Amino acid sequence: MDVSALQRLRVGQGYDVHRLVEGRKLILAGVEIDSPVGLLGHSDADALLHAVTDAVLGAAALGDIGRHFSDTDPAFEGADSGVLLQKTLALAASKGYQLVNVDTTLICQSPKLAPHMDRMQACLARLCGLDAGCVNIKAKTNEKLGYLGRKEAIEAQAVVLMIKDLPA
Ligand SMILES: Nc1ccn([C@@H]2O[C@H](COP(=O)(O)O)[C@@H](O)[C@H]2O)c(=O)n1
Ligand SMILES: C[C@@]1(CO)OP(=O)(O)OP(=O)(O)OC[C@H]1O
């Protein structure tokens, strides 16, 4: 086993939740999904991309999403979370971190996401600069339990693996 390669590996974990309301678009993994309700937020409220962004920041020990893109800054009102993820990946790359793979879970009672999964996976892979085979999105209902089960919100969880360059 190559121990020096193992020492360059970093894992990161991310989580997000946004409330579902009328009058907002539902955007997940950078894809707009046909729905009578959408996620509320200062940005486009893409909970999945926020969780992935936090996981990347976690792996690179760079804090959390709000530290880089404040939810009180008018610059991020309606922001495209795909752009924020790509800025985060560029920041991580500037510190020597490259993404290896991404795994995510959406806890979403409704709508059914299976019909949108291929598009969501392709979009997330493009945003991450990875092959689709290195990116995964899973969907779960919350078995009608609690605020997620009552369709009041959607939750996202993400785990990433990153590899750090050897110091020059
Ligand atoms: N919003 C969702 C939720 C779930 N799915 C798919 O259904 C399967 C079963 O979900 P359970 O919560 O009942 O375990 C799940 O594995 C997904 O394939 C979905 O498409 N959209
Ligand atoms: C990206 C930001 C910017 O306001 O998006 P929000 O829509 O506020 O979403 P949240 O996940 O609550 O916090 C992250 C914020 O930094």
| Mean pLDDT of all residues belonging to the chain | 97
Provide the pLDDT for residue 7. Answer: 87
Candidates 81, 8, 4; CA nearest to 41 is: 81
- Given a cut of 90, whether residue 160 has pLDDT beyond it is yes
* Residue 1's pLDDT band (cuts 50, 70, 90): low
To test the ligand 2 pocket, which listed residue (50, 81, 83, 154) has its Cβ within 8 A of the most ligand atoms? 50
Q: pLDDT (tens digit, 9 = 90+) per residue, 24-37?
A: 999 999 999 999 99
Strand 135-140 vs strand 97-107: parallel, antiparallel, or unpaired? parallel
Helix locations, the chain, DSSP H: 3-6, 47-59, 65-68, 81-94, 117-128, 146-149
16 is an annotated ligand-binding site residue: yes
- Residue 153 beta carbon below 6 angstroms from any ligand 1 atom: no
Residue 147 lies in a domain: yes
**Whole-number CA gyration radius for the chain:** 16
The CATH number covering residue 152 comes to: 3.30.1330.50
Cα 15 to ligand 2 centre (Å): 12
- Given a cut of 80, whether residue 3 has pLDDT beyond it is no
Q: pLDDT (tens digit, 9 = 90+) per residue, 127-148?
A: 999 999 999 999 999 999 999 9
Residue 23 lies in a domain: yes
- Given a cut of 90, whether residue 158 has pLDDT beyond it is yes
Number of domain units in the chain: 1
- Given a cut of 80, whether residue 168 has pLDDT beyond it is no
Domain that holds residue 127: 3-163
| pTM of the predicted protein model | 0.96
Distance, in Å, from the CA atom of 55 to the CA atom of 165, rounded to the nearest integer, reads 18
Output the CA angle 140-76-18, nearest 5 degrees. Answer: 25
Residue 168 lies in a domain: no
Q: pLDDT (tens digit, 9 = 90+) per residue, 10-60?
A: 999 999 999 999 999 999 999 999 999 999 999 999 999 999 999 999 999
Residues 115/63, Cβ–Cβ less than 8 Å: no
Distance, in Å, from the CA atom of 148 to the CA atom of 17, rounded to the nearest integer, reads 9
Q: What ipTM is given for this predicted complex? A: 0.91
Q: Work out the average pLDDT over 86-97.
A: 98
The larger pLDDT score, comparing residue 168 to residue 15, is at 15
Ligand 2 first shell, C-beta below 6 A: 16, 41-43, 45, 50, 65-66, 69, 71, 76, 79, 84
